């Protein structure tokens, strides 16, 4: 039995021996990477490398992400089953993206910028805007059609302008998630590069998870 990030890296490494990072972007998020043994203080010996499970979903639990949190992130965190824990994960992963979008849509509606200011019971209910809706809405060919169907299901009508705004909100939230993942991933790659005294690093990243697999972009 291995951690899912380690399993992903090993699976990728079977086909590509340059793979030294494994990343999961699904219900949760995490990553592992190959660290130089000389930097692993809890294990004797300085030769070779060891796979480190970063548990990066917990990044920000010390307040280091405070200035990047929106009011929607704060509300998701406060109402979660583990307030104050896994802050980074709550900004990125599939368990929370749909709820962040829902909160944004509620605020826009209450400001009378969406749905003629009319909410619905479904829109006001936590968890009713599922993360899978984001993938359906952002689909290239049928995105707007999917958006209208989803909004109708949520009791919000099929207005084209509203549908375009909802799609923009979804794109914004999922793009932020992708950029946060990219920033964290770049940090790991840079650490490997610096540890080895290289000017450039050539490596492969093994990636898995439902958000990564199912999101159209």
Quote helix, strand, coil % in the chain, to nearest 5. 55, 10, 35
Report CA-CA distances (Å) from 51 to 32, 110, 173.
7, 48, 31
Which DSSP string do the residues of 133-167 spell out, in sequence order? Answer: HHHHHT-TTTHHHHHHHHHHHTT----HHHHHHHH
CA distance 11 to 212: 16
Would you call 141 helix, strand, or coil by DSSP?
A: coil
* Of 96, 93, 214, 102, the residue nearest 154 (C-alpha): 102
- Pick the closest to residue 163 from 178, 185, 142 (CA basis): 142
pLDDT, tens digit (0-9, with 9 covering 90-100), for 129-166: 999 999 999 999 999 999 999 999 999 999 999 999 99
pLDDT in tens, 33-67: 999 999 998 888 888 999 999 999 999 999 999 99
CB 128 within 8 A of CB 156: no
Domain boundaries, the chain: 4-63+191-214, 73-175
CATH 3.40.50.300 at 73-175, yes or no: no
pLDDT tens, position by position, 6-38: 999 999 999 999 999 999 999 999 999 999 999
pTM of the model: 0.94
CA 132 from chain centre, in angstroms, equals: 13
DSSP helix/strand/coil, 129: coil
């Amino acid at each position: 039995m291995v951690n899912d990030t380690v399993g992903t890296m090993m699976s990728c490494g079977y086909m590509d021996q340059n793979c030294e990072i494994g990343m999961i972007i699904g219900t949760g998020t995490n990553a592992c990477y190959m660290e130089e043994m000389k930097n692993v203080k809890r294990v004797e010996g300085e030769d070779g490398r060891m796979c480190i499970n970063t548990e990066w979903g917990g990044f920000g639990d010390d307040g280091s992400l405070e200035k990047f949190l929106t009011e929607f992130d704060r509300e998701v965190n406060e109402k979660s089953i583990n307030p104050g824990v896994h802050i980074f994960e709550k900004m990125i992963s599939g368990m929370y993206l749909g709820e962040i979008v829902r909160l944004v849509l509620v605020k826009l509606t209450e400001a009378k910028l969406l749905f003629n200011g009319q909410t619905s019971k479904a829109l006001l209910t936590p968890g009713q805007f599922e993360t899978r809706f984001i993938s359906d809405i952002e689909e290239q060919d049928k995105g707007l059609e999917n958006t209208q169907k989803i909004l109708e299901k949520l009791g919000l009508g099929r207005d084209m302008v509203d549908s375009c705004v909802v799609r923009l909100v979804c794109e914004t939230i999922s793009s932020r998630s992708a950029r946060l993942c990219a920033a964290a991933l770049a940090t790991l790659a840079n650490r490997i590069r610096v540890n080895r005294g290289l000017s450039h690093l050539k490596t492969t990243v093994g990636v898995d998870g439902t958000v990564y697999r199912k999101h159209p972009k």
